[in-house]
Amino acid sequence: MIHLALQEKLQRAVLELMPEADVSSVLVRPCPEPKFGDYQTNALIGLAKRNRLNPRELAAKVVGQLDVTDYCEPVEIAGPGFLNFQLKTAALSDTLVSATRGEHLFYRTAAEPRTIIIDYSSPNVAKPMHVGHIRSTILGYALARVFRLLGHKVVTDNHIGDWGTQFGKLLVGWKEHLDKDALGQDALAEMERLYKLVNTACDGDETVLARAREELVKLQNGDAENLAIWHEMIDLSRHQFDEIYGRLGVEFDETLGESFYNDRLKGVVDDLVTQGIAEESEGAQVVFFNDHKSLKKHPAIVQKSDGAANYTTTDLATLEHRQDSWQPSEVIYVTDGRQQLHFQQLFELYNRWKPGHGMKLNHVWFGAILGEDGKPFKTRSGEIIRLSGLLDEAEQRAFDVVSEKNPNLPGEERHDIARVVGLGAIKYADLSGNRQSDYVFSWDTMLALVGNTAPYLLYAFTRIRSIFRKLGNESLTRPESFALGQAEELTLAKHLLHFGLVLEQVVDECRPNYLCNYLYELAGHFGSFYENCPVLQAEGEIRTQRLALCDLTGQVLKTGLETLGLETTDRM
RNA sequence: GCCCCGGUAGCUCAACUGGAUAGAGCAACGGAUUUCUAAUCCGUAGGUUGUGGGUUCAAGUCCCGCCCGGGGUACCA
């Protein structure tokens, strides 16, 4: 909060001295070391250098133009030309007081809201969702919520895989080997079985492969029976997807699968050919990127030699539809890192097809989920791990821990807590690391009660709730000001002020782990405060102020966790 | 072959436009409990940031070479 006011004043001071300067990079940030101050800027060093000035002299002149006495002690020039700002407690106190009045929660919404499309999850019809889908789902939904918290308009779209060559094999399986009982029990498992069965049969038998092609052509040509089966497969799949999304608390504004774009595909290819972007090569329609370094040797196929389109074509049609429907300023794709080449091609191709479209096209990719042996996360027999079972296990493990730690809670409440903690642990493990790193899936690590984990953060929240439970019916009085006389109070209060800055950083780089780190630090600062500053036993103004600090910390924790897609609980 | 990504403490990870003494957790060791929930807190120890050069007042971060690992690479998505 305050850093924005300082930043604005600083930028104005620089412009007084250098009217031509680009001050967009003159930023105020928290100090890496508290001993230097609360906030700093290092931007003047670079600015001086670009203008062949002495950095310290420039810093001195800027300080001369700068009046921040409302907020800070006298500004200090340090080292090669850093400015260090030390907050006045009064300024800190004012910000806290306005927060207790509900005027803000330490962040500002965007002055100019943008429209952003976020594409995540995207499971395939007739295949069970597995552990690989969870990262996209969790990351994408968390990002959507952070953008929304900051006042942006977000359209979330689940681009499910409901079309493609796999349906030829699925149709053969459905017609010749379907087990209706199994379908009733677990539709996705049965469809997966059918697919594997036919797929294996195709390897050794040309006639089966020919059957599959035949069924696929019939589907594509609108054969009534095949279309009906296809619709049923989609319905059954979506039912199970929705069950998982319900458990995860994830939602979508749109679910426009690949098939939604079928009508447009031919037109896209024609367009590309007419405009000379695509050309024929080995029977296929292909786009070459000869003047592009990393794509030079990687042409993109937009129409296969059998005349069918592929996912590049579908994605182009999808982008066109998104541009026409919502005019977004940004389209975000949350997928694993193996699709980097595809999205490079897609974006480059779209830029050529629709020059000047003005959208930021952003592939937000993430690393693999590995088992504790460092290899791709699978069951011991090498099977892909299904999401529903994984969620069950998370809840069960969390239930065991809750029951051990707090056996006196009623069973129903323990189940509720186990759901919040178990699912929270899985989500938080996905969110708290750098998304681009591979991450090692470990129950013990994610359900640990200490460290940067969901249980630790949730526990911090329950301690706050516990204080307010003890308070009973006593009404919360709002402090006139905050003295912040004890070091732990001061540290906690200052950290609350950084919430908005962190939210901005999450949005800028699509990295929810920044918010996780922030909340973890907040919980840590609260822990120290809690140990060293009695709240209910304190008296008078101090008690009022500490209760208010607890309340504000609780609000930020809850808002932060909910923005990440985690629920909170009052007891653990 | 080419392209992309990564390599940070024993392990898992972080490090905000390049910025001040590279930070956490786990594991190890030592301390704190007539509690506001100890599912906690405090402390100790642990590093040539893969490697060799370069740019810079300043490099984990940028540039070049090399080593190691992962992924991708014409009709799957």
A78 touches strand B (CB under 7 A): yes
Strand B contact residues in chain A (192-231), C-beta within 7 Å:
none
Q: Which of A243-252, A257-266, A374-383 has the lowest mean pLDDT?
A: A374-383
A366 touches strand B (CB under 7 A): no
Question: Average pLDDT, stretch A281-306?
Answer: 90
- Residue A284, classed as helix, strand or coil, is strand
Compute the distance between CA of residue A126 and CA of residue A384 in angstroms, rounded to an integer.
Answer: 15
Q: Could you identify the residue whose CA is nearest to the C1' atom of nucleotide B42?
A: A528
A407 touches strand B (CB under 7 A): no
> Over 80: is that where the pLDDT of A388 sits?
yes
Tell me the CB-side half-sphere exposure of residue A421, using CA atoms within 13 A: 31
What is the distance in angstroms measured between the alpha-carbon CA of A368 and the sugar C1' of B70?
10
A328 touches strand B (CB under 7 A): no
Q: Which two tokens stand for residue A337?
A: 């890192």
Q: Are A402 and A421 in contact (CB under 8 A)?
A: yes
What is the distance in angstroms measured between the alpha-carbon CA of A466 and the sugar C1' of B41?
18
Burial class (CB in 10 A: 0-12, 13-18, 19+), A558: middle
> Over 90: is that where the pLDDT of A321 sits?
yes
pLDDT at residue A498 in the model = 94
What is the distance in angstroms measured between the alpha-carbon CA of A49 and the sugar C1' of B55?
15
A440 touches strand B (CB under 7 A): yes
Task: List phi, psi (to 5°) of A291.
Answer: -95, 20
Q: Are A327 and A115 in contact (CB under 8 A)?
A: yes
A246 touches strand B (CB under 7 A): no
Q: Domain map of chain A by residue range? A: 2-87, 166-248
Pick left, alpha or beta for residue A382 (phi over 0 → left; psi -120 to 50 → alpha; otherwise beta): left
Question: Average pLDDT, stretch A289-313?
Answer: 89
Could you tell me the pLDDT band of residue A347, with boundaries at 50, 70 and 90?
Answer: very high
Question: Average pLDDT, stretch A417-440?
Answer: 90
Strand B contact residues in chain A (417-436), C-beta within 7 Å:
417, 421, 432-434, 436
Q: What is the DSSP string of A123-156?
A: PBTTS--BHHHHHHHHHHHHHHHHHHHTT-EEEE
A417 CA: nearest nucleotide by C1': B39
A27 touches strand B (CB under 7 A): yes
Question: Average pLDDT, stretch A363-373?
Answer: 85
Burial class (CB in 10 A: 0-12, 13-18, 19+), A417: buried
What is the distance in angstroms measured between the alpha-carbon CA of A338 and the sugar C1' of B3?
12
A122 CA: nearest nucleotide by C1': B77
Burial class (CB in 10 A: 0-12, 13-18, 19+), A255: middle
Task: List phi, psi (to 5°) of A440.
Answer: -95, 120
> Over 90: is that where the pLDDT of A474 sits?
no
Compute the distance between CA of residue A335 and CA of residue A137 in angstroms, rounded to an integer.
Answer: 9
Q: Could you identify the residue whose CA is nearest to the C1' atom of nucleotide B18?
A: A46
Q: Which CATH number fits domain A2-87: 3.40.50.11720, 3.30.930.10, 3.30.1360.70, 3.40.640.10?
A: 3.30.1360.70
What is the distance in angstroms measured between the alpha-carbon CA of A570 and the sugar C1' of B60?
41
Q: What is the DSSP string of A192-228?
A: HHHHHHHHHHHHH-HHHHHHHHHHHHHHHTT-HHHHH
Q: Could you identify the residue whose CA is nearest to the C1' atom of nucleotide B38?
A: A531
A41 touches strand B (CB under 7 A): yes
Percentage, residues of chain A above pLDDT 90: 72
Higher pLDDT, A34 or A408: A408
Which residue type sits at A440?
V
A40 touches strand B (CB under 7 A): yes
Strand B contact residues in chain A (82-111), C-beta within 7 Å:
82, 84
Q: How far is CA A487 from CA A483, A490, A525, A541, in A?
A: 11, 5, 10, 17
**ipTM score of complex:** 0.94
Compute the distance between CA of residue A307 and CA of residue A269 in angstroms, rounded to an integer.
Answer: 10
pLDDT at residue A79 in the model = 87
A128 touches strand B (CB under 7 A): no
> Over 90: is that where the pLDDT of A313 sits?
yes
> Over 90: is that where the pLDDT of A139 sits?
yes
A572 touches strand B (CB under 7 A): yes
> Over 80: is that where the pLDDT of A449 sits?
no
Per-residue pLDDT tens digits for A200-239? 888 878 888 889 889 988 998 889 999 999 999 999 999 9
Q: Are A285 and A309 in contact (CB under 8 A)?
A: no
What is the distance in angstroms measured between the alpha-carbon CA of A393 and the sugar C1' of B41?
31
What is the distance in angstroms measured between the alpha-carbon CA of A227 and the sugar C1' of B74?
30
A42 touches strand B (CB under 7 A): yes
Nucleotides on strand B with an atom closer than 7 A to protein CB?
A: 1-6, 12-21, 24-27, 36-42, 57-58, 70-77
Could you tell me the pLDDT band of residue A130, with boundaries at 50, 70 and 90?
Answer: confident
